[in-house]
């Protein structure tokens, strides 16, 4: 039985760990805030007090932490004790420079590294329905296949070099954040014009302009109810990474810069831990 260690059991990592366990894999987990990991024990997951303990004997180590700095700090402790032949699947969104730094950290320890950010939020993570974007050496694909099959509905191999998958993740997230903030603007505009904002969602429903995500986030915005599936602080961090990537290529960054500023305002307004749909409250002000 493949043994998998999951480092980071927040909104995404906990669901991924449960999906791995449901698939029959042997799973150990660690989280910086231990109480967030303890509930996983009821699902047959071994909860470790230290990342070094979690990765002991693991064939695959999955990191789902907040940013490149947190991943580097945790893996700096875990890498020296990994079993020979273990593979590191790095699923956190850390940006292009962050991915390069982490891939180099893996190389320095002689550990196989797969760049594997995921598309999806809390519910797909819990259901094993994420989309895994992967890039790494071909000879590592067999090792990570059971893990990716357990956490995802599909895996898209983008290339053989780490960083390729992260480029696609930033492209996808740029679209997601544009959709969310655009929906928030329309919901708020409808309200300020004296309209029932539900009319906006009903008008586009089922047509070429509709999307399930618009309906999902739009309903949350209308209700003003924001249980986190993808939190504002994560959207703030990721939109900043997208802005960095655009600037590095010389592309126009004005749209994502505005989106980033909106998420910054939402976070400053006390909504950092709420779902990113809470950006609607910025427009309502």
CA distances from 60 to 26, 28, 81, 247, 282 (A): 11, 11, 13, 34, 41
pLDDT at 127: 97
From 56, 81, 284, select the one nearest 188 (Cα to Cα).
Answer: 284
Mean pLDDT of the residues in the chain: 97
Assess whether pLDDT exceeds 80 at residue 258: yes
* Residues 46 and 148 grouped into a single domain: yes
Q: Please give the model's pTM, rounded to 2 decimal places.
A: 0.95
In this prediction, residues 36-49 reach a mean pLDDT of 94
* Residues 255 and 158 grouped into a single domain: no
* Residues 17 and 114 grouped into a single domain: yes
Range of the domain at 29: 3-162
* Residues 178 and 121 grouped into a single domain: no
* Residues 36 and 76 grouped into a single domain: yes
pLDDT at 141: 98
Q: What is the pLDDT of residues 107-139, one digit of tens each?
A: 999 999 999 999 999 999 999 999 999 999 999
Assess whether pLDDT exceeds 90 at residue 246: yes
* Residues 183 and 126 grouped into a single domain: no
pLDDT at 72: 98
pLDDT at 1: 75
Assess whether pLDDT exceeds 90 at residue 34: no
From CA 64, how far away is CA 117, in angstroms rounded? 9
* Three state DSSP letters for 17-74: HHHHHHCCCEEEEECCCCHHHHHHHHHCCEECCCHHHHCCCCCEEEECCCCHHHHHHH
pLDDT band at 11 (very low <50, low <70, confident <90, very high): very high
User: Residue 59 has which token pair?
Assistant: 């064939």
* Residues 11 and 67 grouped into a single domain: yes
* Residues 254 and 178 grouped into a single domain: yes
In this prediction, residues 148-172 reach a mean pLDDT of 98
The CATH number of whichever domain residue 28 belongs to comes to: 3.40.50.720
pLDDT at 129: 98
In this prediction, residues 147-153 reach a mean pLDDT of 98
* Residues 23 and 149 grouped into a single domain: yes
Burial of 89 (0-12, 13-18, 19+ CB in 10 A): buried
Domain boundary among 131, 162, 193: 162
Q: What is the pLDDT of residues 267-282, one digit of tens each?
A: 999 999 999 999 999 9
Q: How many CB atoms lie within 10 A of CB 8?
A: 27
pLDDT at 23: 97
Domain count of the fold of the chain: 2
pLDDT at 132: 98
Could you tell me where the DSSP H helices lie in the chain?
A: 11-22, 35-38, 51-54, 68-78, 95-108, 122-127, 141-151, 164-192, 198-204, 212-223, 232-249, 254-266, 280-284
pLDDT band at 96 (very low <50, low <70, confident <90, very high): very high
Q: Positive or negative, the Cα torsion across 82, 86, 92, 97?
A: positive
* Residues 144 and 27 grouped into a single domain: yes
pLDDT at 35: 86
In this prediction, residues 16-29 reach a mean pLDDT of 98
pLDDT band at 257 (very low <50, low <70, confident <90, very high): very high
pLDDT band at 36 (very low <50, low <70, confident <90, very high): confident
Domain boundary among 116, 136, 162: 162
* Residues 213 and 107 grouped into a single domain: no
* Residues 12 and 144 grouped into a single domain: yes
User: Residue 227 has which token pair?
Assistant: 């249980």
Domain boundary among 118, 137, 162: 162
Assess whether pLDDT exceeds 90 at residue 88: yes
In this prediction, residues 227-248 reach a mean pLDDT of 97
The CATH number of whichever domain residue 181 belongs to comes to: 1.10.1040.10
Q: What is the pLDDT of residues 163-199, one digit of tens each?
A: 999 999 999 999 999 999 999 999 999 999 999 999 9
Percent of the chain scored above 90 by pLDDT?
97
224: left (phi over 0), alpha (psi -120 to 50) or beta: left
Q: Is 138 within 8 Å of 122 (Cβ atoms)?
A: no
pLDDT at 84: 95
pLDDT at 154: 97
């Amino acid at each position: 039985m493949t043994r998998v260690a999951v480092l980071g059991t927040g909104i995404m990592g906990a669901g991924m760990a449960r999906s791995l366990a449901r698939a029959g894999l042997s799973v150990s987990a660690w989280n910086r805030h231990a109480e967030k990991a303890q509930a996983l024990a009821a699902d047959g997951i071994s909860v470790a007090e230290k990342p070094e303990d979690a990765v002991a004997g693991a064939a695959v180590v999955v990191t789902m932490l907040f940013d490149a700095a947190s991943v580097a700090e945790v893996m700096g402790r875990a890498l020296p004790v990994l079993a020979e032949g273990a593979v590191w699947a790095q699923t956190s969104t850390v940006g292009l420079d962050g991915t390069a730094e982490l891939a180099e950290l893996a190389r320095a320890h002689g550990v196989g590294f797969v760049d594997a950010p995921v598309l999806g939020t809390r519910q797909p993570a819990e259901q094993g329905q994420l989309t895994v974007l992967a890039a790494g050496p071909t000879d590592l694909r067999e090792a990570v296949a059971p893990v990716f099959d357990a956490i995802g509905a599909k895996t898209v191999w983008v290339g053989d070099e780490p960083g390729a998958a992260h480029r696609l993740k930033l492209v996808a997230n740029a679209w997601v954040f544009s959709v969310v903030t655009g929906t928030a603007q329309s919901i708020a505009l409808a309200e300020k014009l004296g309209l029932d904002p539900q009319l906006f969602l009903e008008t586009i429903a089922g047509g070429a302009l509709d999307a399930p995500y618009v309906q999902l986030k739009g309903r949350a915005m209308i209700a003003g109810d924001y249980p986190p599936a993808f939190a504002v602080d994560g959207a703030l961090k990721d939109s900043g990474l997208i802005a960095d990537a655009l600037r590095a290529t010389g592309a126009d960054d004005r749209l994502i810069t505005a989106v980033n500023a909106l998420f910054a305002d939402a976070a400053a307004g006390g909504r950092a831990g709420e779902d990113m749909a809470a950006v609607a409250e910025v427009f309502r002000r």
